[in-house]
Amino acid sequence: MSSFRLLIATVVVGLALVLQVSLFPHFAWQGVVPNLCLLVVVGAALTRGAQFAAVLGFVAGVLLDLAPPADHVAGRWALALVVVGYVAGRVRQDVKPTAVAVVSTVAACSFIGTSIFAITGLVLQDPVTGFGELVPVILVAVLWDVLLTPFVLPPVMAMFNRLEPERATV
């Protein structure tokens, strides 16, 4: 059952990845698009907990790293999304996820995820960019993810709840 859930989740992540690469660049601001894969991982964390979300984060990250047109050092998004899955899953245990809590979790996770990706890029010199360019990109990414939260998180969370209703908490 667990592997079946992971399979379904991977398909959802793949769909998010394709939309992120093919659809959203048309609406992008300075090339920054909403990170739908990250939103799916956060949705998984809020319903299924940190362990499942960390595994899904790894899968989603590897896909983001390898699927065209990615050209950065592989493993960077994987690392970022494992941490995102873990953090979002931990938040769930402390806060009752009301709409406000969900939005703030998304904002925090988006900030953490994009920052980890950017910092690994600085460390590995891949590519050589200045710190000054990172900050606006990270902030716009957070804004995008928060804007898309009301449209993405409810269906994703409903789906994860339905995948295993007896474990889902009401």
Partner 1 sequence: MDVRHMLGRRGELDRSARRERRWGSVGRLDERNRPSKALLIALVLASASLITLDYHGGQGSPMEPARRAVGEVFGPIETGASTALRPFVAVPNWFRTHDSMQREIGELEAQNARLRSDMATNSYDRNRLEEFDGLTTAATDLDYALVPARVVGLGPSQSFSRTVTIDAGSRAGIRPDMTVLNNDGLVGRVLRVTSTTATVLLIVDADSVVGGRVGQSMEVGFLHGRGVLGNDGRLDLELIDESEVPMKHDTVVTWGSEGGAPYVSGVPVGRVTSVYSSLRETSQRAVIEPFVDFGSLDLVGVVVPSGSRSDRSVIEADGSLR
In the region spanning residues 102 to 121, those forming contacts with partner 1, defined by CB under 8 A, are: 102, 114, 117-118, 120-121
- Residues within window 35-94 making contact with partner 1, judged by CB under 8 A: 35, 43, 46-52, 54-55, 57-58, 61-63, 65-79, 82-83, 86, 89, 92-94
Q: Does 98 bind partner 1 (CB under 8 A)?
A: yes
Binding-site member from 8, 133, 135, 151 for partner 1 (CB under 8 A): 133
| Nearest distance, CB of residue 47 and partner 1, angstroms | 5
Binding-site member from 14, 104, 119, 139 for partner 1 (CB under 8 A): 14
Q: How far apart are CA 164 and CA 125, in angstroms?
A: 43
| Nearest distance, CB of residue 117 and partner 1, angstroms | 7
Q: How far apart are CA 41 and CA 57, in angstroms?
A: 6
Which residue shows structure tokens 């690469």? 21
| Nearest distance, CB of residue 51 and partner 1, angstroms | 4
Q: Does 124 bind partner 1 (CB under 8 A)?
A: yes
Smallest CA-to-CA distance from 129 within 60, 67, 72 is with: 72
Q: Does 137 bind partner 1 (CB under 8 A)?
A: yes
129: which 2 tokens?
């960019």
Burial of 29 (0-12, 13-18, 19+ CB in 10 A): exposed
The residue type found at 144 is: W
Q: Residues 72, 30: contact at Cβ < 8 Å?
A: no
Q: Does 18 bind partner 1 (CB under 8 A)?
A: yes
- Residues within window 143-162 making contact with partner 1, judged by CB under 8 A: 153-154, 157-158, 160-161
DSSP-derived 3-state class of residue 166: coil
